[in-house]
Chains A and B, each alone.
Chain A
């Protein structure tokens, strides 16, 4: 097992004291988590064998500081905030991997200042919208336990049991608040203008998509790829919206190859 350390970084006029999970050694890579919050998984462990992985927690989701989110009003604030996080970590130009909500943030960072993002890997990102394929609002799934059907290829499989089987109250609280803090930037529809900015992305781009993603349909892979020059798509078979959890070795391998290429 890799040793994961927590590093606190004070940014945004020192109003946000964000926790960044750091592990491994080698060239840096940043991971931006999705709406459900940051979980250190086998995928990140694998990446950490050849890279230094920096995984910041979205503002407000760091334990003990739920109100940090009140300091960021909108996506513009969030993008500038992340440049400060990169500055504080000493990362001038760095590869960024983003999952779902984190994928959208990574795309916004790469589009607004192409110099800061050397490579861009997005795992089933949100951020674009097609009326013929609406993305279900994951924050209002009812019953709440049905979220697993949208997230996983095997909603009754072992991963589902491990992730959602016996969720204690504190885990539920953490997940709900993470959805609240990320939801601030995408409620009620995750289309906040990326389509106008996405053409500015210059970083080599890899899109990874679960072939059976029921939350953000794989049709969005082409929507992203067609707007980013040279973007490549890798579909992961037998995977839903969490391909890096469902097939960690495979996805880590593809990301490694992309980062080392």
Chain B
């Protein structure tokens, strides 16, 4: 198993009554009432320091992503963060996992091909190229992208980026959304033919199929934990992978999990309970309608989600839940090193996950506590998880220069 540290760069100090006083954490929260530019500068630096600390502690990768107009995680440009991280992790076996720049929000999309190639160059070939569709609230509400066109824009941008990376000849791109007369990318990525591609998603079957068809790693970004994802992953994802004629290599799947490690289970509750509740009560405080405005999902997925509103119901009931519920329902893996090890082993086996992403700074968690969590996780938990899958499977969705050797037939 490969383990990357994910960071959202959240607002860590929202008022206690935030969710009562404000309509939403996304799109509409008033910056000047809720934040201070100098303090925000501190958040960015803490975020970078925490990710760099994770890399030094042995994290296989560091992940940043793109969101807009919110207090949930406000890195409008993940590549600016990735650039700092690429430089600061020189010499470490740590991938720069951009999860990443949202394709339909970037025009022309070769900008992403260029920036990712820069990151691959600066990092010496350590880039993982995430290709996210972008959320409805980010792209439709904040960036004005027409919801019903978002997936088509995405697919066109994806094809253009790959062609821009791989074509030896100058080419004209005559797309529906982008027309370019002479594409001739400078720089080119070090990794050939191109860096590994990860497709983040929230469990829609059409994205499962898209990733499997193209032989990309699909990354399930769920906040409802591995127990709730288990049906969708086992009964749908791995079946789609098989139907598309791909092998069952666990590294085809990434999964994001919130994790808190402490000396004991009781200490973990003391350390993390309030930050977990802050995360679920404030960071996900937004109108359910904005998660998918009309047209964001294709007709069939939209109809399915109205007929079977599992995710909407889970989302709507978040504020009724407390730390113990989040723990029991597997939304978070928190506890002593032994407890967390068991939970994550269970996760990796039940979902067949090779590329685990852990969120170790959660919501309001202060810098020092985040550093403690990072340190404990990589010292006490990660070493026991790494050998999982290594006997049999190679991580083809990882920078070649950073891959571990597969020990086929070695005894566990």
Contacts and interface: CB of A to CB of B under 8 A. Distances in A.
A194 to B, nearest CB: 18
A173 B23 CA distance: 25
Interface string A138-158: 011111100000000000000
Interface string B1-38: 00000000000000000000001000000000000000
A183 interface: yes
A187 B299 contact: no
Given A66-B299, A67-B299, A169-B306, A181 B148 contact: yes
B148 A180 contact: yes
Task: Tell which of B287, B290, B293, B302 has the most Cβ of chain A within 10 Å.
Answer: B293
Contact of A140 (B293, B298, B306): B293
A69 B148 contact: yes
**Size class of the A contact interface (CB-based, 8 Å):** 20 to 34
A180 B149 CA distance: 10
Nearest to A174: B303
A89 interface: no
A67 B206 CA distance: 15
A249 interface: no
A200 interface: no
B108 interface: no
Given A73-B176, A184-B295, A142 B290 contact: yes
A177 B294 contact: yes
A188 B141 CA distance: 8
Interface in B142-177: 144, 146-149, 152, 176
Contact of B287 (A66, A67, A142, A184): A142
Contacts of A66: 298-300
Contacts of B303: 173, 177
A80 interface: no
Contact of A184 (B144, B148, B298): B148
B294 A169 contact: no
B299 A177 contact: yes
B130 to A, nearest CB: 26
A13 B86 CA distance: 52
Interface in A165-209: 169, 172-173, 176-177, 179-181, 183-184, 187-189
Contacts of A177: 294, 299, 302-303
B262 interface: no
Interface in A99-157: 139-144
Contacts of A176: 294, 302, 306
Given A140-B293, A143-B289, A188-B140, A183 B147 contact: yes
Contact of A179 (B23, B287, B294, B299): B294
Contacts of B405: none
A73 B146 CA distance: 11
Contacts of B300: 66
Nearest to B141: A140
Interface in B300-355: 300, 302-303, 306-307
B112 to A, nearest CB: 23
A187 B287 contact: no
Contacts of A183: 146-148, 294-295
A37 to B, nearest CB: 11
B287 A143 contact: yes
A141 B289 contact: yes
A188 B144 contact: yes
B381 to A, nearest CB: 40
Contacts of B294: 139, 176-177, 179-180, 183
Interface string B267-297: 0000000000000000000010110011100
Contact of B289 (A140, A173, A184): A140
Contacts of A187: 140, 144, 146-148, 295
B253 to A, nearest CB: 29
Contacts of A179: 294-295
A214 B23 CA distance: 21
Nearest to A181: B148
A169 B303 CA distance: 9
B149 A184 contact: yes
A-B interface, 5 closest residue pairs, ranked by CB to CB distance from nearest: A180-B295, A66-B299, A142-B287, A180-B294, A179-B294
Given A180-B147, A187-B147, 6 more contacts: A140-B293, A181-B148, A183-B294, A184-B146, A187-B148, A188-B140
